[in-house]
Amino acid sequence: MSYLFTSESVSEGHPDKIADQISDALIDNFLAYDRQSKVACETLVTTGQVVLAGEVKSEAYLDVQTIAREVINGIGYTKGEYMFNGDSCGVISAIHEQSPDINQGVDRSGEDADFETRANSQGAGDQGMMFGYATNETDNYMPLALDLAHSILKELSVMRQEGSEVSYLRPDAKSQVTIEYSDDHKPVRIDSIVISTQHDEFGSDEAMLAKIRKDMIEVLIPKVKYKQKREIQELFNDQIKYHINPTGKFVIGGPHGDTGLTGRKIIVDTYGGKGAHGGGAFSGKDPSKVDRSAAYATRHIAKNLVAAGIADEVLVQVSYAIGVAQPCGLYINTFGTSKVNMTDGEISERVQQLFDLRPYAIEHNLKLRNPIYQETASYGHMGREPFTATRIFNKGRKDERVEKDLEFFTWEKLDRVEDIRNEFGI
């Protein structure tokens, strides 16, 4: 019997995503001026206010107020009627020094020590389990419902920033896509699409809703569909149930409509409910925190395993004890889709020989101790296209400008496919 599966996404203007972006902008600036910074930074946003809190061990001094304001303005909260404006909101900082009890379990060797010494001595920043997932139902090895939900809001963001067709749009938005799957887990059709987008006040409630509904269905969705490959385009159909601003009005939004906190969109950040999640958020954490770095590492493993043809679908779990370098365990589930004559346990043993999951090794191999994280804080940490770019940082030490050439989304590279094929003899 067929079944329905749903995933959601939120825009960069959603309150929780504003908080994530501010937290990750702080991480980037700390790392730009001091690569060894240890940071766990939380952000709260509400009507006219931003609160920064957390623990930091760093040689860098940052103008955190200016960083937060630049993020908010960059998202598009630039008008007084939004009741949350980057130029006028209050920014309160309660950031303090990291606990030495935690730090002593993470830093045990000097920066000049060789790779093996550092990899064996740098323990995990916390206990816990992290998951990575990949499926071959999309070209970026992500679940289709989430990929489409992200695509809808990314296209909506472009339309908002261009402004010509939909000048009434405001930054806050959410999407949701429900897909019907066959018994053999193949997508058959899109069943329903939900879009809730913040907007200016114009005309009567009925006129506003009619205009927004028309633009979403007749302008936005065709743009999204056009950018999909043919097999995905065929899933769009005349029977899709559209729920466009289903409450009828969405003028009050952003942090004025709903308080935002760092780390409250962890399913949007990962796999849209497919696979599994260990519970730890990513944003606001430097890469010594395995909540973040090991989640990236397990995604890297899962994606390369699927791309290598080991299975159609792979879930990878790794777990740690705080202060201990070697993982407590590695688990792999291929959901019965394995293409090799091995059990999932045997596949796991081979993977452990190929991938070094000690925290320092993850940082080193994926180049994570770089200021690359604000890019991850909206539209998902996984399934993104790796790229290189130059970034300039000028909000650290006074009058000191830092320019860096950076690699983004290194965990999305298919750089271990041949190693895996050689190991598994395929």
Q: Binding site for Mg(2+), residues?
A: 16
- Rounded to an integer, what is the distance from CA 211 to the centroid of its chain? 32
CA distance 158 to 154: 6
Residues 6+ apart with CB under 8 A from 134: 141, 142, 299, 302, 303, 305, 306, 307, 313, 314
CA dihedral over 421, 276, 225, 236, signed as positive or negative: positive
CA distances from 19 to 14, 32, 374, 390 (A): 9, 20, 11, 24
Residue 285 bridge partners (DSSP): 40
CA distance 199 to 358: 47
The binding site for L-methionine consists of: 55, 98, 258, 289
Instruction: Identify which of 260, 242, 205 has the alpha carbon closest to the alpha carbon of residue 49.
Output: 260
The binding site for K(+) consists of: 42
**Burial grade of 217 (CB within 10 A; 0-12, 13-18, 19 or more):** middle
**Burial grade of 83 (CB within 10 A; 0-12, 13-18, 19 or more):** middle
Residues 6+ apart with CB under 8 A from 418: 308
Angle of the 290-307 helix axis to the 417-424 helix axis, nearest 10: 60
Q: Give strand ranges (E) for 297-352.
A: 313-320, 329-333
The binding site for ATP consists of: 14, 172-174, 249-250, 258, 264-265, 281, 285
The binding site consists of: 14, 16, 42, 55, 98, 172-174, 249-250, 258, 264-265, 281, 285, 289
What is the chain's length?
A: 426
First to last CA, the chain: 34
CA distance 289 to 282: 9
